[in-house]
Amino acid sequence: MAGKHSKPRDPSTTYKVLGWAVLVVAVLSFVGFLAVGANGPEDPTLGGIRGFGETAFQVVPAGGGTAGQYCALLASTEEQRARGLMGRRDLAGFDAMVFVFDADSSGGFYMRNVPVGLSIAWFGADGRFVSAADMASCPDRDGCPTYSPTRPYRQAIEVLRGDLGKLGIAEGSVLTVGGACRR
């Protein structure tokens, strides 16, 4: 009695099947990644900085026009305002850091332990631009210069040095702070 013998498989068929299997797994993995990622934050670069909140803000440029909509780190407590961007080289994906005060203030800002230059703009209780300054980085030591506005303010915004114009901030601009960031 003769035994049944199977025909040997063509190796190219095995590689084709294996190639299709790898492709199917890769496509399913990508679809799964998209489905899981859809449950994450809309802008994963906005991870925040421990100890700070976030807030939306608008800037109406001098002379009117369309207000720009932005998202900032929020420093609204004495501790947060004192810490500011110490030790940071970036804004963690945010457009700025906004400092909010409960009453008019005339105190200056300093750059101790801030490794990058920043620009600051101060705004009154009515949201109107008060003044601005470019601030030089300063190591963690005594004697760092203090930067002060020309008159009392209620809010201040810090950005990387030279970036105030990107937000439409200049003499005559108006700032509104509050609400959830739109992403």
pLDDT tens-digit profile of 26-59? 433 433 333 333 333 344 345 678 889 999 999 9
User: What's the sign of the alpha-carbon dihedral 120, 87, 115, 166?
Assistant: negative
Higher pLDDT, 68 or 147: 147
**Mean local confidence (pLDDT), 152-179:** 96
End-to-end CA distance of the chain: 76
Angstrom distance (rounded) from CA 60 to CA 93: 22
What is residue 49's predicted lDDT score, i.e. its pLDDT?
83
Domain 53-177 has CATH 3.40.640.10: no
Q: Which helix (H) or strand (E) holds 20?
A: helix 11-37
Amino acid at 96: A
Total count of residues recorded for the chain: 183
Return the closest-CA partner of residue 158 out of 77, 54, 85. Answer: 85
Token output for 45: 């670069």
The percent of residues in the chain predicted with pLDDT above 70, rounded, is 74
Domain boundaries, the chain: 11-40, 53-177
**Mean local confidence (pLDDT), 75-81:** 95
In the predicted model, is pLDDT for residue 183 greater than 60?
A: yes
What pTM did the predictor assign? 0.73
Mean pLDDT value across the chain: 82
What is residue 127's predicted lDDT score, i.e. its pLDDT?
97
